[in-house]
Structure 1
Amino acid sequence: MTAAAGIDVLDATLAGHGLCLRGWVFPGGPDVAMPSGTGTASAICLVGHAGGAFWPVFEAWRITHRGIDDPLDTWSKSVITPIAETAGGEAVFPSDRPWQPFQQWAMAAEGLKPSPLGMLIHPDYGLWHGYRGAILFEKAAMARLVTGEPSPGTSLAPHPCDTCSDKPCLSACPVEAFTPAGFAVPDCRSYLKGEAGRDGCMRSGCLARDACPVGRSYRYSAGQIRFHMTAFC
């Protein structure tokens, strides 16, 4: 199996669930942390989504899996774990301890940087993307998937926020929760629990996130937005 064929098969399998291969990183290199815990890897494949491509698949699954705690994390594991095992790798997830350095891996794989809101911003997807898991490959397993080392994710530049002079995301929050000191989580959650928050951000999504002009075509659906807002509260 050639490198291109192995990666294409992996990406096509993920695509059937609305997910995609977001990039590769190689632990031990510059700015690439090793997996937490006892796990080892010679290569890490990040798995995630752009926009809400996975949402209809997840919603169909959720209809037959009512009453499950953390349904999105459970669904992600049910999809990615068998794909990882078939490819000869080990799946790890952002929701599990020991916490894995997903942000570091994402920045190394795709050249992303944080937005003023703290979330990683993509030059095409804006703030409407995410990472659902990663697949760790050791050398022997990696050899079965690809020939040689796959190319790491393409470095993306320029950082979209560098050319955004107005920074509308910072002025859109009703309680000014985003400051140079960081994200005031208690202020945000307190607002969301009030009438104005329930009728505003809880219904239509975070106003600060929504103010970003990048990646508007990838904006989540109303149902997906409400799901994430409820999970945050």
Structure 2
Amino acid sequence: MTGYVDIAASAAGAGLDIFGGFHPEPGDGAPDGTGTLLLLGPREPGFWAIVTAAPEWRDGAADPLDRWSVRVVGRLARDIGGHALFPFGGPPWHPFYPWAVRSGRAFASPVTLLVHDTAGLMVSYRGAIALPGRIDLPAPPGASPCESCAGRPCLAACPPRALTARGYDLPACHAFLDTAPGADCLSAGCLVRRACPVSQAYGRLPEQSAHHMRLFHR
């Protein structure tokens, strides 16, 4: 069976990183017969240039990023004898949040969003690959990056206080985005996600964040 290093290299060639993996147990919600589950996210810097040059982005049809993910993750999965899973297009809906936490590389942040050890609060998952056999996986970091973040700037970054330790006030977020000060979030991405020191080192372009914000706040 193809090993982790080879899979990571193939994913990198497609603009993706392995954002974590684990060996599922009963109750994890993985498909029956899964020996290893790998989570895939954007490889930065460079992801957005790859996606926006792809045929899905140029054909004018809806959901270009999701369609790109289906094609690219699906091909990666087939090449290594696995099965592609996605956080969209359900039902069935796959439990990506618990899977991310299960991998040991993503954690609940002080503002309740997932925070990843390399992507910070900019973490997103384009898909997962379920493999029938067990492959050796790198040891996860074991601790959330928030534990060593002295200032925790995410807690004070949201002007309408829509994202706090109490959770997410969705109406307050949308209401703020309708105001002039909210234009910064719409054009460059959520201020809370951008405040995370790990996010700032990740290399995600404002254009990508703006794309997601347009879909979120139609």
Give the TM-score, by structure 1 length: 0.82
**1:63, CA displacement in angstroms?**
7.2
Classify the secondary structure of the residue corresponding to 1:125. coil
**1:167, CA displacement in angstroms?**
2.3
**1:202, CA displacement in angstroms?**
0.8
Residue 120 of structure 1 aligns to which amino acid in structure 2? L
**In the aligned structure 1, how far is the partner of 2:98 from the partner of 2:196?**
23
Question: 1:119-173 CA distances to partner (integer Å, 9 max, x unpaired)?
Answer: 32233332233221111122xxx3xxxxxx3223422143222233432212111
Q: Which runs of no fewer than 5 residues in structure 2 stay unpaired? A: none
Asked whether the 8 Å contact 1:50–1:128 carries over to 2, the reply is no
| Distance 1:153-1:70 versus aligned 2 partners, 3 A rule | farther
- Matching of residue 17 in structure 1 with residue 14 in structure 2: yes
**In the aligned structure 2, how far is the partner of 1:22 from the partner of 1:164?**
21
RMSD across aligned positions (CA): 2.3
Q: Which structure is richer in relative contact order (CA contacts within 8 A, separation 6 or more)?
A: 1
Residue 187 of structure 1 aligns to which amino acid in structure 2? A
Q: Which runs of no fewer than 5 residues in structure 1 stay unpaired? A: 143-148
Classify the secondary structure of the residue corresponding to 1:131. coil
**In the aligned structure 1, how far is the partner of 2:21 from the partner of 2:161?**
36
**In the aligned structure 1, how far is the partner of 2:197 from the partner of 2:164?**
19
Asked whether the 8 Å contact 2:24–2:35 carries over to 1, the reply is yes
- Matching of residue 71 in structure 1 with residue 38 in structure 2: no
- Number of the residue aligned with 2:154: 169
- Number of the residue aligned with 2:36: 43
* 1:123 equivalent among 114, 117, 120: 117
Give the TM-score, by structure 2 length: 0.87
- Number of the residue aligned with 2:172: 187
Classify the secondary structure of the residue corresponding to 2:197. coil
Residue 190 of structure 1 aligns to which amino acid in structure 2? A
Question: 1:147-203 CA distances to partner (integer Å, 9 max, x unpaired)?
Answer: xx32234221432222334322121111000233310111111211223212x2112
- Which structure has the larger Rg? 1
Asked whether the 8 Å contact 1:50–1:129 carries over to 2, the reply is no
Residue 33 of structure 1 aligns to which amino acid in structure 2? D
| Distance 1:83-1:169 versus aligned 2 partners, 3 A rule | same
Identity %: 35
